[in-house]
C-alpha cells in the first residue's frame, strides 16, 4: 500500500511524484525501467545467451552444420571488355537489297530500326519491316561482332530482343573495378530474423494459395529463406555497347575468395535457366557462355500520335479466311481517312439490289416490274416480287480477305491476299501500306484473338535536348470479335 501523497522511490533510483487521486491505482502495479551503469555498449552488442548449447542443438536440428560458411560479401573484383555496335542492317525488302549504315549511339535505336522513308505518305517504306511476319527484323554489328533482332513488334526494344550471330573478338582494353557488394532488398521483404519482427504492412501468413501453385511456393521459399543471400554489384555500362565479363571474384568476411562463374545449364541438347545474358541464334550450334550482355540505347518515354493507319486482322473460322479490316489510312495529302465512313458514303450512292422480278403464271417465266400491267396486278397473273438470288453477300470494301494456300506436304500454309470487289479499274480494294506490302502472310502470325497493326508518329528527346521524330509501326493483340457475315447462294426477300 502506497501512502497517499508520498513520493515513490523505485529500485532503479527514479523518483516519481504521484498525485493523491492517482495513488490508489499503484496498489498492485509497479513500473520497471532499465538503467545502464556504464557508458559502454560492448555487452549489449555481444547478444549473450544463458544456454549456448541450446542454440548449437537448434543449428544441428536445422541442418546448418552441413551448409557452407555464411560470411557476408565485403569485396568484389570484376574485369570486362566491351565494344560499341554502331552499324545497323535492315532486312532486305522485296524490291531492294539490304543496306548497312552507321548511326550515332546517342540516337534512340528504335528510331533507326523503325523509321520509314519515302517521297509521299502513300510511298513510305520501313526497311526493317518484315511484311510476311508482320514484325521488324534487323541486325547491329561492329566488325566481326553481330547481334540480330528478328521478332521485334515495335514495343519496348530491349536487350532480350537480340540474339548472338557472332561473338567476335572483343579486343578492346580490359577494364577492372573493385567494389563492395550490397544486399538485395525489395518492398515487402522479410526481416533477416536477428530478433526482429516485420511491421504490420507485411503478412507472410496471409499469402493465399487456392490451388497447388509451384511459383507461389518458390516465391515464399525465396522470400523466407534465400532473400538475404543475393547481392548487387554495381557496374557502369555504356549504351550501345556489348560487354563480356572476363573475371569475377568475391571475398567474404572470413577472407575466403571465390571465383564466380555464370549460372547456366551446359546440357548440349537443351539450354536451361539463364538470367541477363544473350542467347545464340538458332542457326548457331553452340551454347551460351552467360557472360555477354548488350545494352541498347532505347527510349524511356516518347510522345505518340493517334494512329495514322490501323488494320485489324482476325480469323473467320466459318469461312476459313483471315480478314484484314482496314480501319484508317493516310491519303496522298497526309490526311487521316476513316475507311468505314468512306465506305458508308459509297454505299449510299450505290444501293444494293432489291427484288424486282415477278413470276408470270401463264408464260412460266420471270418478268421485270415494268412489264407487270393490268387490273388487279400484281396478284392475279403476276405473282411476286420473287426473292432475289445472290451468289455471295456484299461486304464492305475495307474488309480484305486472305485465303490459305498450302506451302508444302508437311502441312504448312501461307495466307495470300485476295479481294471481294470485282471492279478494280479505279484502284485496288486496299488503300493503306500494310495490306499493300503484305501480299503474303505466314499463317502462324495470326492468333485466335487477332492482331492489330498501327502506324504512328513518335517524338522523343535525349538528355542533350535533341529531338527525334519518325514514323513507327506497332503490332499487338486485338480483342475485336466481329463476324463478317459472309454467305453464299442465298435469297434476298422483299
What is the C-alpha separation between 91 and 462, in angstroms, rounded?
27
Cell of 20: 493523491
pTM of this prediction? 0.73
Task: Report the pLDDT value the prediction gives residue 6, as an integer from 0 to 100.
Answer: 43
DSSP secondary structure string, 182-223?
EE---TTPPP--SS----TT--GGG---SS--HHHHHHHHII
What is the C-alpha separation between 381 and 143, in angstroms, rounded?
89
Cell of 447: 492468333
Q: What share of the chain is helix, strand, coil (3-state, %, to 5)?
A: 15, 35, 50
DSSP secondary structure string, 72-115?
PEEEEEEEEEEEE--EEEEPPPTTS---EEE--TTS-HHHHHH-
DSSP 107: S
Q: Is the peptide bond before 378 cis (omega within 30 degrees of 0)?
A: yes
Q: Which of 257, 274, 299 is the last residue of a domain?
A: 299
Task: Report the pLDDT value the prediction gives residue 11, as an integer from 0 to 100.
Answer: 41
Judgement on whether residues 150 and 265 belong to the same structural domain of the protein:
yes
Judgement on whether residues 238 and 327 belong to the same structural domain of the protein:
no
Task: Report the pLDDT value the prediction gives residue 3, as an integer from 0 to 100.
Answer: 45
Task: Report the pLDDT value the prediction gives residue 134, as an integer from 0 to 100.
Answer: 93
Whether residue 443 is contained in a domain is answered as yes
Radius of gyration of the chain (CA): 38
Task: Report the pLDDT value the prediction gives residue 404, as an integer from 0 to 100.
Answer: 92
Task: Report the pLDDT value the prediction gives residue 424, as an integer from 0 to 100.
Answer: 81
Judgement on whether residues 312 and 294 belong to the same structural domain of the protein:
no
Domain that residue 18 falls in: 1-33
Nearest CA among 205, 202, 206, 207 for reference residue 188: 202
Q: Are 313 and 322 in contact (CB under 8 A)?
A: yes
Q: Can you count the helices (H) and strands (E) in the chain?
A: 6, 31
Judgement on whether residues 412 and 295 belong to the same structural domain of the protein:
no
Task: Report the pLDDT value the prediction gives residue 326, as an integer from 0 to 100.
Answer: 94
Task: Report the pLDDT value the prediction gives residue 68, as an integer from 0 to 100.
Answer: 62
By the 10 Å C-beta count (0-12 exposed, 13-18 middle, 19+ buried), 163 is classed as buried
Contacting residues for 432 by C-beta, under 8 A, at least 6 apart: 309, 311, 326, 328, 329, 330
Tell me: the pLDDT tens digits for 162-176? 999 888 777 667 889
Q: Are 118 and 165 in contact (CB under 8 A)?
A: no
Task: Report the pLDDT value the prediction gives residue 308, as an integer from 0 to 100.
Answer: 94
Whether residue 2 is contained in a domain is answered as yes
Task: Report the pLDDT value the prediction gives residue 95, as an integer from 0 to 100.
Answer: 46
Cα atoms found within 13 Å of the Cα of residue 141, Cβ hemisphere only:
19
42 φ, ψ (degrees, to nearest 5): -60, -45
Whether residue 207 is contained in a domain is answered as no
How would you label 170-197 residue by residue, b for 16+ Cβ within 10 Å and e otherwise? Answer: beeeeeeeeeebeeeeeeeebeeeeeee
Judgement on whether residues 264 and 156 belong to the same structural domain of the protein:
yes
What is the C-alpha separation between 211 and 198, in angstroms, rounded?
27
Whether residue 189 is contained in a domain is answered as no
Judgement on whether residues 280 and 340 belong to the same structural domain of the protein:
no
Judgement on whether residues 342 and 404 belong to the same structural domain of the protein:
yes
Whether residue 234 is contained in a domain is answered as yes
Whether residue 94 is contained in a domain is answered as yes
Judgement on whether residues 285 and 332 belong to the same structural domain of the protein:
no
Q: Return the residue matching grid coordinates 580490359.
A: 174
Q: Indicate the SS3 state at residue 45.
A: helix
Q: Which of 238, 269, 299 is the last residue of a domain?
A: 299
How would you label 323-344 residue by residue, b for 16+ Cβ within 10 Å and e otherwise? Answer: bbbbbbbbeeeeeebebeebbe
Whether residue 198 is contained in a domain is answered as no
Nearest CA among 162, 165, 93 for reference residue 132: 93
Q: Indicate the SS3 state at residue 259.
A: strand
Task: Report the pLDDT value the prediction gives residue 256, as an integer from 0 to 100.
Answer: 87
Nearest CA among 98, 103, 99, 100 for reference residue 85: 103
Dihedral sign computed on CA atoms, order 19, 20, 21, 22: positive
Judgement on whether residues 333 and 281 belong to the same structural domain of the protein:
no
Angle at alpha carbon of residue 86, lines to 83 and 90, rounded to 5° = 130
Task: Report the pLDDT value the prediction gives residue 71, as an integer from 0 to 100.
Answer: 76
Judgement on whether residues 142 and 266 belong to the same structural domain of the protein:
yes
Whether residue 208 is contained in a domain is answered as no
Contacts 24+ apart (CB under 8 A), 343-348: 343/396, 343/397, 343/398, 346/397, 347/396
Contacts 24+ apart (CB under 8 A), 202-211: none
What is the C-alpha separation between 406 and 412, in angstroms, rounded?
6
Contacting residues for 236 by C-beta, under 8 A, at least 6 apart: none
Residues of the chain with pLDDT under 50: 1-14, 94-95
DSSP secondary structure string, 63-74?
TGGGS---PPEE
Judgement on whether residues 322 and 468 belong to the same structural domain of the protein:
yes
Judgement on whether residues 142 and 1 belong to the same structural domain of the protein:
no
Q: How many domains does the chain have?
A: 3
Q: How many CB atoms lie within 10 A of CB 285?
A: 7
Amino acid at each position: 500500500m502506497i501512502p497517499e501523497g508520498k513520493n515513490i522511490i523505485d529500485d532503479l533510483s527514479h523518483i516519481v511524484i504521484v498525485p493523491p487521486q492517482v495513488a490508489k491505482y499503484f496498489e498492485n502495479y509497479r513500473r520497471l525501467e532499465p538503467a545502464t551503469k556504464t557508458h559502454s555498449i560492448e555487452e549489449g552488442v555481444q547478444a549473450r545467451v544463458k544456454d549456448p548449447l541450446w542454440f548449437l542443438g537448434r543449428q544441428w536440428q536445422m541442418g546448418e552444420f552441413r551448409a557452407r560458411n555464411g560470411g557476408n560479401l565485403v569485396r568484389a573484383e570484376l574485369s570486362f571488355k566491351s565494344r560499341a555496335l554502331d552499324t545497323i542492317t535492315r532486312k532486305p525488302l522485296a524490291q531492294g537489297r539490304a543496306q548497312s549504315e552507321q548511326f550515332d549511339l546517342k540516337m534512340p535505336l528504335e528510331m533507326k530500326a523503325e523509321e520509314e522513308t519515302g517521297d509521299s505518305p502513300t510511298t513510305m517504306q520501313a526497311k526493317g519491316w518484315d511484311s510476311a511476319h508482320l514484325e521488324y527484323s534487323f541486325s547491329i554489328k561492329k566488325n566481326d561482332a553481330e547481334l540480330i533482332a528478328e521478332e521485334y513488334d515495335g514495343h519496348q526494344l530491349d536487350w532480350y530482343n537480340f540474339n548472338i550471330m557472332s561473338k567476335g573478338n572483343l579486343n578492346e582494353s580490359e577494364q577492372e573495378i573493385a567494389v563492395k557488394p550490397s544486399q538485395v532488398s525489395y518492398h515487402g521483404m522479410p526481416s533477416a530474423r536477428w530478433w526482429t519482427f516485420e511491421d504490420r504492412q507485411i503478412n507472410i501468413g496471409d499469402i493465399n494459395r487456392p490451388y497447388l501453385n509451384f511459383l507461389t511456393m518458390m516465391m515464399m521459399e525465396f522470400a523466407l529463406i534465400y532473400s538475404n543471400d543475393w547481392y548487387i554489384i554495381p557496374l557502369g555500362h555504356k549504351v550501345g555497347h556489348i560487354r563480356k565479363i572476363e573475371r569475377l571474384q568475391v571475398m567474404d568476411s572470413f577472407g575466403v575468395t571465390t571465383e564466380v562463374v555464370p549460372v547456366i545449364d551446359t546440357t548440349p541438347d537443351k539450354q536451361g535457366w539463364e538470367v541477363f545474358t544473350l542467347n545464340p541464334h538458332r542457326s548457331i550450334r553452340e551454347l551460351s557462355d552467360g557472360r555477354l550482355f548488350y545494352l541498347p540505347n532505347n527510349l524511356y518515354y516518347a510522345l505518340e500520335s493517334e494512329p495514322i493507319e490501323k488494320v485489324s486482322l482476325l480469323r473467320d473460322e466459318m469461312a476459313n479466311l483471315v480478314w484484314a479490316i482496314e480501319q484508317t489510312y493516310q491519303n496522298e495529302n497526309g490526311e487521316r481517312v476513316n475507311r468505314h465512313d468512306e465506305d458508308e458514303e459509297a454505299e449510299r450512292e450505290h444501293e444494293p439490289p432489291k427484288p424486282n422480278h415477278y413470276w408470270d403464271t401463264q408464260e412460266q417465266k420471270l418478268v421485270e416490274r415494268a412489264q407487270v400491267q393490268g387490273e388487279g396486278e400484281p396478284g392475279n397473273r403476276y405473282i411476286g416480287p420473287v426473292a432475289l438470288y445472290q451468289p455471295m453477300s456484299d461486304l464492305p470494301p475495307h474488309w480484305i480477305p486472305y485465303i490459305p494456300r498450302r506451302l508444302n506436304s508437311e502441312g504448312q500454309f501461307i495466307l495470300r491476299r485476295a479481294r471481294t470487289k470485282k471492279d478494280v479499274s479505279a484502284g485496288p480494294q486496299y488503300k493503306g501500306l500494310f495490306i499493300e506490302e503484305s501480299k503474303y502472310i505466314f499463317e502462324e502470325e495470326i492468333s485466335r484473338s487477332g492482331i492489330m497493326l498501327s502506324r504512328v508518329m513518335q517524338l522523343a528527346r535525349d538528355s542533350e535536348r535533341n529531338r527525334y521524330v519518325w514514323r513507327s509501326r506497332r503490332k499487338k493483340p486485338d480483342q475485336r470479335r466481329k463476324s463478317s457475315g459472309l454467305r453464299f447462294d442465298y435469297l434476298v426477300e422483299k
